[in-house]
Structure 1
Amino acid sequence: MKNVCAVLVTYNRLELLKESISAILNQTYKVHQLIIVDNQSTDGTSDYLKQTDDARIKVYTPSKNLGGAGGFQIGINQAMQNVENDFVWIMDDDTIPQKDCLDQLLKPIVSGSVESTGFMCSNVRWTDDSAAVMNIPYTTSYWNELAQQGLIQVKAASFVSLLVSTKIIREVGLPIKEFFVWGDDYEFTWRISKKYKSYCVCSSLVTHKMGANHGVDIVTDTIGRIPRYFYSFRNSLYTERHHDGVKGFTIQILREFYSVHKVLHHSKDHKWLRIRYIFKGMLAGLAFNPQIQFPKERL
Structure 2
Amino acid sequence: MTVQTQSQAKERKVAAVVVTYNRLALLKECIAHLQQEDLPLSHLIVVDNASDADTQDYLESLGDQIVYLRLPENIGGAGGFNRGVRYFIEETQDDFVWLMDDDTMVQRDSLTELINFAQQKPDFGFLASDVRWTDGHRAKMNAPAPMNRLQKVPEEGAQPVQLQSATFVAILFRRTVVEKIGLPITDFFIWGDDIEYSERAGRIAPGYFVPAARVLHKMKANTGSSILKDGPDRIQRYFYAYRNKMYYLKKRDWYRRYRARLRISLEYWQLFFSKADHRAEKLATMRKAIRAGRHFHPKIEYANHYNSKDGK
What TM-score, normalized by structure 1, do the two folds share? 0.92
- 8 Å contact 2:177–2:204 — kept in the other structure? no
Q: Which amino acid is 1:222 matched to?
A: G
SS in 2 for 1:41: coil
Equivalent residue runs for 1:85-234 within 5 Å? 85-110=94-119, 113-141=120-148, 150-234=159-243
Between the aligned partners of 2:182 and 2:274, the Cα distance in structure 1 is 40
Between the aligned partners of 1:164 and 1:254, the Cα distance in structure 2 is 31
Residue equivalent to 1:15: 25
Cα 1:43–1:135 shift into 2, 3 Å: farther
Q: Deviations over 1:118-160 (max 9, x none)?
A: 111110000011000000121113989xx99731111100000
Residue equivalent to 2:4: none
Cα 1:149–1:129 shift into 2, 3 Å: closer
Between the aligned partners of 1:296 and 1:288, the Cα distance in structure 2 is 25
The CA deviation at 1:250 is 3.9
- 8 Å contact 1:13–1:43 — kept in the other structure? no
SS in 2 for 1:273: helix
Gaps of at least 5 residues in structure 1 are: none
Range moving further from structure 2, 267-276 or 17-26:
267-276
Q: Which amino acid is 1:295 matched to?
A: A
- 8 Å contact 1:14–1:43 — kept in the other structure? no
The CA deviation at 1:248 is 4.5
- 8 Å contact 2:161–2:208 — kept in the other structure? yes
Residue equivalent to 1:258: 266
Gaps of at least 5 residues in structure 2 are: 1-10
Cα 1:137–1:271 shift into 2, 3 Å: same
SS in 1 for 2:128: strand
Q: Deviations over 1:146-180 (max 9, x none)?
A: x9973111110000001111111001111111100
Q: Which amino acid is 1:293 matched to?
A: E
Between the aligned partners of 2:212 and 2:261, the Cα distance in structure 1 is 37
Between the aligned partners of 2:296 and 2:22, the Cα distance in structure 1 is 29
- 8 Å contact 1:241–1:248 — kept in the other structure? no
Q: Which amino acid is 1:182 matched to?
A: W
Between the aligned partners of 2:92 and 2:222, the Cα distance in structure 1 is 38
Cα 1:108–1:248 shift into 2, 3 Å: closer
- 8 Å contact 1:73–1:176 — kept in the other structure? yes
Q: Deviations over 1:165-212 (max 9, x none)?
A: 111100111111110000000000001112211111111010000000
Number of residue pairs matched by the alignment: 292
SS in 2 for 1:266: coil
- 8 Å contact 2:247–2:294 — kept in the other structure? yes
Q: Deviations over 1:194-238 (max 9, x none)?
A: 221111111101000000001121111111111110001100111
**2:281 is equivalent to residue 269 of structure 1:** no
Range moving further from structure 2, 34-43 or 188-197:
34-43
Between the aligned partners of 1:92 and 1:43, the Cα distance in structure 2 is 19
SS in 2 for 1:164: strand
Residue equivalent to 2:56: 46
Residue equivalent to 2:36: 26
**2:301 is equivalent to residue 293 of structure 1:** yes
The CA deviation at 1:249 is 4.5
Residue equivalent to 1:283: 291
SS in 2 for 1:161: strand
Cα 1:63–1:148 shift into 2, 3 Å: closer
Between the aligned partners of 1:15 and 1:151, the Cα distance in structure 2 is 33
The CA deviation at 1:254 is 2.8
- 8 Å contact 1:220–1:267 — kept in the other structure? no
What TM-score, normalized by structure 2, do the two folds share? 0.89
- 8 Å contact 2:158–2:211 — kept in the other structure? no
The CA deviation at 1:115 is 3.7
Between the aligned partners of 2:14 and 2:256, the Cα distance in structure 1 is 35
Q: Percent identity over the alignment?
A: 36
The CA deviation at 1:291 is 1.4
Q: Which amino acid is 1:37 matched to?
A: V
Range moving further from structure 2, 204-213 or 287-296:
287-296
